[in-house]
Amino acid sequence: MANQRPNPNEAFPNPNLPRLCFIKNVVKNPRIIIGDYTYYDDVDGADQFEKHVTHFYDFIGDKLIIGKFCAIAKGVEFVMNGANHRMDCATTYPFYIMGGDWGSAIALVKDDLPLKGDTIIGNDVWIGQNVTVMPGVHIGDGAIIGTNSVVAKDIPPYSIAVGNPCQVVRKRFDDELIELLLQFRWWDKSIEEIENLMPILSCCNVEKVKAELRAFLQVERIKWMEQRFNNALAAIKDGAAVSLESIKEDVAELSKYYGSDLWKQDFAADEAGILPPDLKRGVLSEDGIWNLLSDYREIQKKYGRME
């Protein structure tokens, strides 16, 4: 049977709900950068998202960057830097905008416009109805912005913020779960992995989610260190100075890992038989790392140039 999963490269993922639009497929301006699966929800034209990015001038060159898997509700307004007139001159009136002979007046103010930089929205951010986001604001991964808020300052990840001015009312989770989610970055996984993760991403039992994320992160860490271990081993066998030079960072990371509690935790998990049976784990063999590091030291001495 053909694959039925929503296609991130189509504007309207659900033919029965044309109010939902994957907006990366409809924005034209290259300074608006949108991640996969981020949608705008608007019965009055979800594909008109770009009209909600205002005061967005090429001569300023600022960008609106929105991550993956964000939900953006009707009536959002991303106010960009062109909205800010100079306030320190005798007038705030922007003569240059009118063009014609006045166009050159931009030279009088351009270098000192009150620019706030790019607007950056993280991943898995939920922006409620009629929210206004001011220039240069950063909204962290997993944040929620309440209906009708005016976001004028940065909002930290995994917080709920409301009002005008938009202020954090609470964190969504305890610090440990926030840290695990920020490390895990589920939105960067392949879509097949995300589909497998859906039960845990949709689970409200915080302790269960923490335990699963810890286990996932542990396996990812072991795979990553295993890769570094194999690189280093291959370079040491090869013995050429150039390949040894290229693994300095791998060996430094491995030394750090072996000197940390993380390795002890991974080793203990292996002993307890709770790691996936097909996981390659040469990196958890004490002899393996010992030989690797002592070989490396020998080669360092031989070449006298690897410190």
Ligand X SMILES: CC(C)(COP(=O)(O)OP(=O)(O)OC[C@H]1O[C@@H](n2cnc3c(N)ncnc32)[C@H](O)[C@@H]1OP(=O)(O)O)[C@@H](O)C(=O)NCCC(=O)NCCS
The yes or no reply on residue 162 touching ligand X (CB under 6 A) is yes
Which of 40, 257 has the CB closer to ligand X?
A: 40
String of contacts with ligand X for each residue 244-273, x by CB under 6 A: ------------------------------
Pick one of 25, 148, 230, 255: the residue that binds ligand X (CB under 6 A): 148
Pick one of 169, 198, 240, 274: the residue that binds ligand X (CB under 6 A): 169
Q: What proportions of the chain, in percent to the nearest 5, are helix, strand and coil?
A: 45, 15, 40
Q: Which residues are within 8 A (CB) of 280 and not within 5 positions of it... i.e. 6 or more apart?
A: 223, 226
The yes or no reply on residue 168 touching ligand X (CB under 6 A) is no
Contact call for residues 306 and 300 (beta carbons, < 8 A): yes
Q: Which part of the chain contacts ligand X (CB under 6 A), choosing from 143-151, 204-212, 213-221, 283-291?
A: 143-151
| 53, β-bridge pairs | 78
Given strand 138-139, what is the order of strands in its sheet? 32-34, 64-66, 119-121, 138-139
Choice among 52, 55, 85, 138 that is catalytic: 85
The yes or no reply on residue 211 touching ligand X (CB under 6 A) is no
Going from the C-alpha of 191 to that of each of 6, 17, 146, 165, the distances in angstroms are 10, 22, 28, 37
Neighbours of 21 (CB within 10 A): 24
Least distance from ligand X to the Cβ atom of residue 10, Å: 20
Pick one of 67, 128, 135, 136: the residue that binds ligand X (CB under 6 A): 128
Which of the residues 37 through 76 are near ligand X (CB under 6 A)?
Answer: 41, 71, 73
Task: Check if 85 is active-site.
Answer: yes
Pairing of strands 167-171, 159-162: antiparallel
- Catalytic residue annotation: 85
Residues forming contacts to ligand X in the complex (CB under 6 A) are 41, 71, 73, 128-129, 144, 146-149, 160, 162-163, 169
